[in-house]
Chains A and B, each alone.
Chain A
């Protein structure tokens, strides 16, 4: 039986390597047919902002990779509502992440699930494996 894997992302991109190397695990892990979800909490929400441009800091901009997660069947992306609000952000500031549902005539569906702390606490509590970065 598939286990529930959650990747817990709490760090912003570029300042440290955690966000990038977490994404690398997600992409590899997608091949294992587990029940995968991602959580973005605290500064982790900054990983998903639109308009990232890293040319002038000499690092690779890996933010486009998030929009490919749907193709890897990573379709459950939880964003903590309070974390967005504390940072003066709304969903409009984040990339619009979608996946295509093959059981529903390839209908395009939202991957992002904006959840309250209380809801996210329930989701965390339900996981079998929590990978922290």
Chain B
């Protein structure tokens, strides 16, 4: 009797050791060869990932094959980008990827996807936390949360100078031989900053601070010497807004009335601006503005009813005028990238990674 019990028990134990639920299978990783025959070769999407999960990824979307490869950077390099990707840009024949929490500037050959150099952004042991990048005359200007702008030579890839600006800079743009940096003060809740630092490129000195609405964020330059600045307010009684700085006078010249904005991009005379409101449940709102006359063109860019849940980035392909909008899908699910024609009709969509936060187009090199 006991023996039977024992045998039964031992066999139950053995059975328990054998686990029966199968893990998902790792998708195959095939290196990508980039087809360079189109005028726009492809689109890079930087997926921010989630904080402390080391899952920032780079999606490469190939125009000729309409294939999107997420985890492109890992496939091409055998390592991941790191934690919280925050900005992406192509300048000359190099692509620059800012990885905020890992505190790195990753320089990549955009035609192969191979890393050229990883530039560490540390002040001793303190991570500087780089945020955004802008370019002028073969120099990259990278603003970091520690209140600095680093000047990086795009040929030698050396940090040449560190310029002190205001608190927690978040956005950067170049206009009229000056660099404009938005000092958000975002880590000083409730005491946000409300200035934009102006750096004179010739002297590499901060020459002025322009007062704007509380908590400035994105800055984008148009073709008329103006800078569009988004301020996020304090998330309660001070609302978000969109303002214009004139780079001739370095003065705030206009604030759009009753217009809440989170982010924008400018292509020729059109600005594409989006705003997102969870409470209304209506998803994201994408607007267009005329930057020449500084007026609203359309309060709803999308004309075919395509629903964007949580818009997270906007960019325009300069060769076709197509507008790309990313949807972060509530921030914890796989993001999507939508392509619209200039009339606001959806052309196609593809899946990217977690929280697609910035895009860069790879154009055919001028020969």
A pairs with B = no
* Chain B residues with a Cβ under 8 A of chain A: none
* Chain A residues with a Cβ under 8 A of chain B: none
